[in-house]
Amino acid sequence: MNSRRIFAVAYKEWREIVRDRLFLSLAFVVPVSLMLIFGYGINLDVEHIPFAVVDHDKSALSRDYLHRYIDSRYFDYQGDLTSEREIGPLLADSRIRLAFIIPPRFEENLMAGRSVAIQTLIDGTFTFRTSSSKGYVIAINAAFNSELLGNYISQRLGIPLETAREMAQPVKAELRYMYNQEVKSVWSIATVLMMFVLMITPPFLTALGVVREKENGSIYNIYASTVTRGEFLIGKLTPYVGISILNILILWLMVARLFGAPFKGDPLFFFLASVIYVICTTGIGLLVSLLVRTQVAAMMMTVVVTVVPSVLYSGLLVPIASMDPAGQFEAHLFPAMYYTDIILGSFLKGVGMEQLWGKVLALLIYSIVLWTASFLMFHKRPKS
Amino acid sequence: MNSDWYILRTRLGSWFSRLMAMTAKELIQFGRDTLLLFAIVYLFVFDTYMAGNVTMQLNKAVVTVHDADHSAASRELIYRFRQPYFKLGGEVLDNHAGQRLLDQGRALVVLDIPPDFAHDIKKGTSVDVQVQVDASNTVLGFLASSYTAQIIGQYGFDQALTSLGIDERALENVPMVRNEYRVWYNPNQKDAWFMPISELLVVITIMGIMLPAAAAVREKERGTIEQLLVSPLTPIQILLSKVIAMTLVILLGTAMSLFFVLHGVFAVPMKGSLILFFAVTTIYSFTTAGLGLYIATLSRNLAQAALLAILVLMPMIFLSGAWTPPEAMPMGLRQAMYISPLYYFIEMGYAILLKGAGLNILWDSLLGLALLGGLIFGFGVWRFRRQFK
pLDDT at residue B105, as a whole number: 75
Distance from the Cα of residue A34 to its chain's centroid: 12
Contacts of B310 in chain A (CB under 8 A): 30, 34, 200-201, 204
Sign of CA dihedral A325, A327, A328, A333: positive
DSSP H helical segments within B129-232, as ranges? 138-163, 195-222, 224-230
Distance CA A190, CA A310 (A): 14
pLDDT at residue B193, as a whole number: 87
CA-based nearest distance A111→chain B, Å: 7
Is residue A183 very low, low, confident or very high in pLDDT (cuts 50, 70, 90)? Answer: low
Decide if B290 contacts B378 (C-beta within 8 A): yes
Report how far apart, in Å, the C-alpha atoms of B21 and of each of A291, B238, B303 are.
Answer: 31, 10, 29
CA-based nearest distance B236→chain A, Å: 23
| B276 contacts chain A (CB < 8 A) | no
| B116 contacts chain A (CB < 8 A) | no
Q: What is the average pLDDT across A15-33?
A: 90
Residue of A38, A84, A94 to mutate, interface with B, max B Cβ within 10 Å: A94
pLDDT in tens, A333-375: 888 888 988 888 888 778 777 778 888 999 999 999 999 999 9
Chain B segment 355-384 residues within 8 A of A by beta carbon are 355-357, 361-362, 365
Q: Does A174 score more than 70 pLDDT?
A: yes
Q: Does A1 score more than 80 pLDDT?
A: no
pLDDT at residue A240, as a whole number: 92
Residue of B50, B54, B59 to mutate, interface with A, max A Cβ within 10 Å: B54
Q: Does B135 score more than 70 pLDDT?
A: yes
Chain A segment 264-303 residues within 8 A of B by beta carbon are 291-297, 299-303
Q: Do B163 and A167 touch (CB under 8 A)?
A: yes
B272 or A189, which is more confident: B272
Q: Do A115 and B331 touch (CB under 8 A)?
A: no
A366 or B174, which is more confident: A366
Cβ-proximal residues to B283 (8 Å cutoff; 6+ apart), any chain: B366, B369, B370, B373
| A146 contacts chain B (CB < 8 A) | yes
Q: What is the average pLDDT across A3-23?
A: 90
| B211 contacts chain A (CB < 8 A) | yes
Question: Strand, helix or coil at A118?
Answer: strand
CB atoms near residue B368 (< 10 Å): 18
Q: Spell out a b/e string for A306-322, using b for 16 or more CB atoms within 10 Å of the CB, else e.
A: bbbbbbbbbbbbbbbbb
User: Residue A123 belongs to what H/E stretch?
Assistant: strand A116-123
Q: Does B101 score more than 60 pLDDT?
A: yes
pLDDT in tens, B35-78: 889 889 998 998 888 888 777 778 788 899 998 888 888 888 89
pLDDT in tens, A41-98: 776 778 888 999 999 999 999 999 999 999 988 898 998 999 888 898 888 888 899 9
Mean predicted lDDT score pLDDT of chain B: 86
Nearest in space to B306 (alpha carbons), one of B217, B381, B224, B203: B217
Highest mean pLDDT among A266-275, A298-307, B84-93: A266-275
Highest mean pLDDT among A17-26, A186-195, B99-108: A17-26
| B114 contacts chain A (CB < 8 A) | no
pLDDT at residue A112, as a whole number: 85
Phi, psi of B245 (to 5 degrees): -60, -45
Q: What is the average pLDDT across B201-223?
A: 89
CA-based nearest distance B150→chain A, Å: 7
Instruction: Output the DSSP codes for A230-242.
Output: HHHHHHHHHHHHH
Chain A segment 228-267 residues within 8 A of B by beta carbon are none
Q: Does B250 score more than 70 pLDDT?
A: yes
Q: What is the average pLDDT across B342-366?
A: 88
Q: Do A321 and B130 touch (CB under 8 A)?
A: no
Q: Is the peptide bond before A319 cis (omega within 30 degrees of 0)?
A: no
B277 or A153, which is more confident: B277
CB atoms near residue B188 (< 10 Å): 9
Q: What is the average pLDDT across A214-218?
A: 82
Phi, psi of B367 (to 5 degrees): -60, -45
Instruction: Output the DSSP codes for B313-335.
Output: HHHHHHTTTSSS-GGGS-HHHHH
Nearest Cβ partner of A174 from B128, B189, B190?
Answer: B128
Highest mean pLDDT among A104-118, A157-171, B152-166: A104-118
Cβ-proximal residues to B371 (8 Å cutoff; 6+ apart), any chain: none
CA-based nearest distance B129→chain A, Å: 5
pLDDT at residue B274, as a whole number: 92
Distance CA B187, CA A9 (A): 60
Q: What is the average pLDDT across A223-250?
A: 90
| B111 contacts chain A (CB < 8 A) | no
| B223 contacts chain A (CB < 8 A) | no
Q: Do A37 and B314 touch (CB under 8 A)?
A: yes
pLDDT at residue A219, as a whole number: 84
Nearest Cβ partner of A171 from B42, B152, B356?
Answer: B152
Cβ-proximal residues to B190 (8 Å cutoff; 6+ apart), any chain: A127, B266
pLDDT at residue B82, as a whole number: 84
Is residue A383 very low, low, confident or very high in pLDDT (cuts 50, 70, 90)? Answer: low
Ordered structural domains, chain A, with CATH:
3-42+183-377 (no CATH), 49-168 (3.40.1710.10)
Chain A segment 18-57 residues within 8 A of B by beta carbon are 20, 22-23, 26-27, 29-30, 33-34, 37-38, 40-50
Distance CA A212, CA A23 (A): 13
Q: Does A329 score more than 70 pLDDT?
A: yes
Q: Does B144 score more than 80 pLDDT?
A: yes
Q: Does A184 score more than 70 pLDDT?
A: no
What residue of A is the nearest CA neighbor of B49?
A327
Nearest in space to B302 (alpha carbons), one of A214, A239, A234: A214
Report how far apart, in Å, the C-alpha atoms of B6 and of each of A206, B3, B17, B248 are.
Answer: 56, 5, 16, 31
Q: What is the average pLDDT across B158-182?
A: 78
pLDDT at residue B248, as a whole number: 94
Ordered structural domains, chain B, with CATH:
23-53+189-386 (no CATH), 61-173 (3.40.1710.10)
| A334 contacts chain B (CB < 8 A) | no
Cβ-proximal residues to A174 (8 Å cutoff; 6+ apart), any chain: B128, B129, B130, B131
Q: Does B107 score more than 80 pLDDT?
A: yes
pLDDT at residue A31, as a whole number: 92
Distance CA B284, CA B96 (A): 55
What residue of A is the nearest CA neighbor of B347?
A94
pLDDT at residue A182, as a whole number: 60
pLDDT at residue B332, as a whole number: 74
pLDDT at residue A185, as a whole number: 61
Contacts of B200 in chain A (CB under 8 A): none
